[in-house]
Amino acid sequence: MSAMNIRDLMHASPVMPVIVLDRVADAVPLARALVAGGIRVLEVTLRTAAALESVRAIRAEVPQALVGVGTVTTPAELDAAQAAGAVFGVSPGASPALLRAIAASGLPFLPGVMTPSDVIAAREAGFEALKLFPAAQAGGIGMLKALAGPFPGLVFCPTGGIDAGSAPDFLALPNVLCVGGSWLAPKALVEAGDWAGIERIARAAAALRPAA
């Protein structure tokens, strides 16, 4: 897994589930359900106290999963993600200090951008695969089409406000390799332990195909 670069990871699943876990006990069955449905790339967000231990559990018990850490906002959080065994990272935005730390870490990473200036700063730091966030509020499909002109070599994983209905339209864009979405691991199904229901959602998402 360490040999995979960020584009490899983006190609591995058309949808990257944005996972929020309140209980470590849910991490492994959730990961198994998503992988069984054909979704291998999992983003566990640093939004709860259970996140890093959940990543450790998935790494230990679900070897087919490519588990990364999202909502990375500081170099310290980046260090913690790597220590937990994350094979990639994702941020909602990026400061110069965070971009430097990511580049130095060697961890495959999707820095978050929202504006053309953000894109230029990330590209100057050496990143050509980016997360557009929050995608819907940033202009969605229209923004991605607009960015394709001045930034023809860059690819995106738009995240934020995307659901099963809109994902195919985003994936039809040539500069979109995958999308991020929380609809694959809805809180109600996770709390209920409805792993079969989550596997069905994952199977439908895995059937989507990006244009690129």
Count of CB atoms within 10 A of residue 141's CB?
16
* Mean pLDDT (whole number) for 122-135: 97
| Confidence at residue 3, expressed as pLDDT on a 0 to 100 scale | 54
Torsion, CA 54, CA 55, CA 56, CA 58, rounded to 10: 90
- Segment 136-161 shows an average pLDDT of 98
When pLDDT is averaged across residues 77-86 and rounded to a whole number, the result is 98
Confidence of residue 211 (pLDDT cuts 50, 70, 90): confident
Which entry of 61, 128, 131, 187 is annotated as an active-site residue? Answer: 131
pTM score: 0.96
- Strands (E) in the chain, as ranges, are 15-19, 41-45, 66-70, 89-90, 109-110, 112-113, 129-132, 155-156, 179-181
State the pLDDT at residue 212: 64
The mean pLDDT of the chain is: 96
pLDDT over 90 at 151, yes or no: yes
pLDDT in tens, 44-75: 999 999 999 999 999 999 999 999 999 999 99
In tens, the pLDDT along 93-105 reads: 999 999 999 999 9
Select the more confidently predicted residue: 1 or 25: 25
pLDDT at 2: 41
- pLDDT for res 156: 98
Given a cut of 80, whether residue 1 has pLDDT beyond it is no
Q: Beginning with the edge strand found earlier in the chain, give each strand of the sheet holding 89-90 in spatial order.
A: 109-110, 89-90, 66-70, 41-45, 15-19, 179-181
pLDDT given for residue 31 in this prediction: 98
Active site residue 131: yes
Among residues 94, 60, 58, the alpha carbon closest in space to that of 77 is found at 94
DSSP 72-87: --SHHHHHHHHHTT-S
Residue 191: how many CB atoms within 10 A of its CB? 11
Per-residue pLDDT at 87 exceeds 60: yes
* Structural domains in the chain, sorted by start: 6-206 (3.20.20.70)
